[in-house]
Structure formats: structure tokens, C-alpha cells
Structure 1
């Protein structure tokens, strides 16, 4: 349920938490999990394995000035198999990263050997006013998080 600066959804996935977490740690699955068509492909193929790690994704959005662009996500939390969270940003030509202030977070709770409650939260509370002036938050419809969780569940039970 949305609050002023966060929205979340929860789904019970018929897979062990370790399996669900492994899917989330594979950047190659993120386009299928997202489901909007914005996330195109992983640029970095290495599995996600520590806080501070940066992984890049090729993106597309019709309202982006370039259409095709790239994000540099940095892992903010990494606690297998319970929590993984990252903040998307951009990488400048000098290699420095800039972040917009929004965070994607997955929290997993074991409810059985092959049942995991997964909560996906999108938090834009740290987005500065200068960005809020030209971007609407959240930038997706109300069903997006639930749809993403269903995609995650499909990948986790394969």
C-alpha cells in the first residue's frame, strides 16, 4: 500500500528463500522480473554478492531523452537470503556515480521449506526536489510491483 514516498507488494513464492535470492542475485534475470520493457539487459554478468557492488543495466524508456540508456545500480544492502536492495544511478565519464534517491528492496521471509514471503518495496523518499520537478514518482502503475513479484516467482520455481 502506498505511503507518501514508498510503495510495496508481497507474494508467497513456492520456492525456498535461497532459490529466490539466487534469482535476484543474477543480473541476467532482472529484465524478466521487471516486466515493463524498461530493463533491457544486464551489462555486468557477475552475480551480485556484496554491499557496495555496482551492476549496470541497459534500459529503454520512451520518455527518456536518449530512449536507450544505461543505469549503474549500487547494492546498498546484501544479507543472503533475507535482503537485497539497490539504488539506481548514472555513471559519469570520470567513473563517479550519481544516484537519484530511489531504492529497490526485496525482503524474504522463510515460511516453509519451499515457501517464501517476498516483499518488494520501491522507496523514493530520498529523491531531491530538483529531480521531482521533472520525474513523477512512482514512475509506474499500481500493479507493477505485484507483477514483478509474479515474474520472480515464475523464475524461482523453474
Structure 2
């Protein structure tokens, strides 16, 4: 009986999330795989995992994305900053996951998670962003996460 209650509480918590579907924009295959795996195990749906601006735009235009996690450096002429600008125009929150958070990131993203990070810190960072999107205060921040109130 107890395990059934725990399972029901987990399902209720998942339904209460503001963030259910995540677009992963990452051009390092191993990092992209790790992100996708960690998010899936945490109960998030992956809209897609893409490695360039054009693919990211197509997925955002299809809809059903609640959060974009994007590396700043991407292959090609357009980068994660361009992805974030496009997402902002559509009202989508962005969490940068990068080794070098841009100085003007606070105008484009809700936060920045510094690489390298542990998968639990990615999940924890998304949980913090989710709380903020639902109008709740951020609790303890995972290591490497910086939040920006300007983009909220």
C-alpha cells in the first residue's frame, strides 16, 4: 500500500510541473546523450535533441516545448545565443548549459548551468526553474547554477 502512495505522489508531482517537455540543444554527442538520458529518467519528455540552430527552430515552431536547454557554442554560423533569442520571442524559457556563460545571458535566459555538471545538477536546475516559473521562490541552488531574474 505504501509504495502505491509514493507512486501516486510522484505522478501528481509530475502533473504539477510547469516544465514537462524539454528541447536539448547540444552539439557534443556524449553530453547530449547524457542530458537526454538524465531528463528521461527524471520523467521529462524530450521534444528533441538537436545540434544546430536550424533544427532547434523547427522543433520550437512545432510547439510542445516548455523549456530549452542550450549550449552557447554550436556548430555553424548561429549559436545558442541565437537559439535563446528565438525562444524568447516565442515566450519559451531557456537554460544555458555551457562552459562560458555570456555576459548578456541574463537578458536571454532564466539561468546558466556551468559545465561540467553532474546529471543530478541538471535535473535540480530544471526543478529550480520550474519552481520559479510557477511563481515560487528558488530553494537551494545546485552547484554551478546561476539564475537571472531579468529573464523571468
TM-score after normalising by structure 2: 0.31
Higher strand share: 1
Q: Which has the higher contact order (CA 8 A, sep 6+)?
A: 1
